[in-house]
Structure 1
Amino acid sequence: MTSQGKRTRVDPGAQAFADAWQLVREHPLFAPMANRTSPLRTGDRPWASVETSGRLRAHRTRVAEPDEWAWVFAHCLLHLGFAVVGCREVVEFQAAVKVGRRPDSWDELGCLDVTPPGPNTPQWMDLFAAGLSGAAVAAVDVAGGARRHLADRRPTRSVWDLALNWFVASYPLLGALASGMKVVADADLARGWDISTAAVDASLGEIYVNPLVRLTSAEWRFVLAHEMLHAALRHADRADGRDPYLWNVAADFVVNGWLVEMGVGVAPDGVLHDPDLAGLSVESVYDRITTDLRRYRKLATLRGRGSDLLGDPARGPRHTADLDGFYRRALLTGLSYHTTERGLLPAGLVEEIRALEQPPLDWDARLARWFEEHVPAVERRRTYARASRRQSATPHIPRPGWVRPEEVERRATFGVVLDTSGSMDPQLLGKALGAIASYALSRDVPAARVVFCDAVAYDAGYVRVEQIAGRVRVRGRGGTVLQPGVDLLERADDFPGDGPILVITDGQCDYVRVRREHAFLVPKGARLPFRPRGPVFRMS
């Protein structure tokens, strides 16, 4: 065999000896003492002995397993730490430490040789005390998940990950929610998105933190709870055309007030909190702060000068129903397991969580309810003037048939002011008109008064409800002026004085004032340039 084919032979006894010493050196209890000495295979004792000067002598020829040598080395170092010659006390302590395995041939013959102290003799008891302190810290980290085992040099999990796991283990209200969230700590991402501390994307279930920010564990708990409540209560989707930044500021005041009242973590310096706003909803706080825009626009969220509610509410996630269901179940489950021993909860937070049990109706269901309220249906009644089909079991008994009263002169109707500018989405427009047609037919409304609006108003007169979609022509001449179309309906002699008006627009229009019962139908995420007085239904 050539020299290149030769392999270096490894002495298994020496390898076990070295591995055992490395294991002891990495243990936090023995590391301070092990760093001040090293074993030598020059001893005559059956296993090993140690001098008070720190010289550790192992038997020169004994071969043993690594876990046996580890037990022997730990035994000798404990002799130094305890400063005792007898082995009984040391062996009893080792049973609790559980480092290595006691050899079957071990005899308690005394392993410590007392030598005169020299000028550089270590203070073994002080080093042992430092090891006890380090072992206690490491044990707490292992119990909390910061380290996989005691020998880990430093925690393998970040402080924000530990804070998130704290909710899973110790705070039932947000535990189920925390188990489904992911913390993303990326300095480049935080710099690119201008995230000073944290932000959240509810559609992705991700919390973005700035790893360069120095916060304590308690402060990270506050920050993560803040972002989780933003996501679970869907604050980004509840803006409904309001100013996004001021809505975020209002939500911050409410959420931070809850967290301070619950005592979850410690609020970092500069968070938005005003005791005078306690007990108010986000909508109420928003109405208050919009009276002083110059002041409140200067306030900073956890993201900084931007909104910490990331994502595009107008687009929405692809699996909105599943996402809403996850957040709803997580909060309701946490509330059911949250006991008074974990702390009291603010009444406003409990009210919002309870409201999640009854999710809001879809836009088309609420539109149907509006039709039922303001567009009365013609009541049918039975009459013998028009007999019904007789039953075969009782052919001699006449049955009354359903008829509509012929004496009714005025049929129920409603007006539609339709934005036909180029900015309208044809698909959403078709969905809205289809819903209107189905509801109108269910209410026995034969026709509706339709006005198309772009730069000017086009009166289409009464159109059968199922034919409205076929009459629409998106003209796209630029701006949209809806007020002339509303005025045309209100002044029309052939339109009832109590007839409701439905305005369909994308929000890119002028100021509209309607003096009778009305409602607006707009795409989700659209914002009207004025404060509407009637209900607003948002299509999705």
Structure 2
Amino acid sequence: MSTAPDPSAADRATHARIMKGLRLVTAPFPHLAGLAAAVRVEIDERVPTMGVFASGRLLANPAFTARLSADDLVFVLAHELLHLALRTHDRARGSATLEFNYAHDYIINDMLRHALGTTVIPAGGLDMPGARERSAEDIVLEMRRTGSYMPSKTLVWEGQVVTVEQVLGAARQAPAGSMGDALDARRERELFPEDSADQVERARAVRDLAARGMVLAKAMGAMRGKGDSPGGQQQSVRAQRGFFHTPWHVALQPWLEGVAPGERTYTRASRRGNDHSDVVMPGRKRYSWMLNVILDTSASMGDDIPKALGAIADFCDAAGVDEIRVVQCDTVVTSDEMLSPAALADYQISGYGGSDLTPALAALADDPRVTSAIVITDGDISYPSEAVPYAVLWALPKSSTSFQPSYGRVVVMQAGGAS
């Protein structure tokens, strides 16, 4: 006798697929990493497709999700995260709620088409080529002027083609927030009354993450012959702090959100980095944690090492890093030690030989405590072809078109002044 499939098992599989999709979103959009980690995914047939509340609760219809390919799912999830990043819920208030939701849908989908190289908007999403160059207010005005003949859809995803006027007319007859994917707070309280008291605080935390994510997006937009023997030389170098124009903690924050231990909390703001007016930094539940750094000490890195050390120290001050494990390597590991960020001020460097970081990456791979590492290098190196079992951030003091690793994420630091 056959048995019916277990709905809870199916929902768990859908939930796992969405969580994987959220992780994949952060590869092309690292500034969304904080929001991707903050959203709470719930499989819910009460929504026709997918939508997100200002609190970060993301609802996904299981049948709709099943119809999406892996690439389309990443697109749709990135779309929902961008609603949080652009604060659609806060800006789309009053009588123009659905209009503003749709305007942001046009903008977001055009942004994603451009960023991901997509020719067709997945899942029948709203499509307006060039919308990313326009403001939401401008698009709303166009919708109002041409609503009787401007095409739109009855739903953000998989809707039927109608005119804007028909969409807005239907919206006036429908429950609040039932047609867009930027789901409103009143509907969340109705659907989830058991945690209504927490929803306002969660929305506030998500707004803070969104603000920081937009700062990160701007910051990251502004950044963009090997030897084979060890050098055997030593030199004491002084860290050059504040050298890079884009603050180190801003450039690396999205990566940090994905690898740092302990969860962020907005019960109190961070006391570190409060002198930076362009960054909102939440406090972190206090877990003593260590930053793993592999430092390329090959001869070609000689001029860049002092600036790299200063950048690491700046980052640690802002991000609340308690200890640093620095593994120096040219073609062999020349030093592996734990130290405080302050110790980088005057630090002994060993190496200045060839350029093979394989021994250093392998040394961290053998340590089960290591879950992530920053590799400071000019990119003119040898390294393992297969991915190591921890998250890697390749940090290059200068841009390198030839360095394209098959794993990890690359950040290029752009100098803000003469060395």
Same fold (TM over 0.5): no
Structure of greater relative contact order (alpha carbons < 8 Å, 6+ residues apart): 2
TM-score, normalised with respect to structure 1: 0.30
TM-score, normalised with respect to structure 2: 0.38
Select the structure that is richer in strand: 2
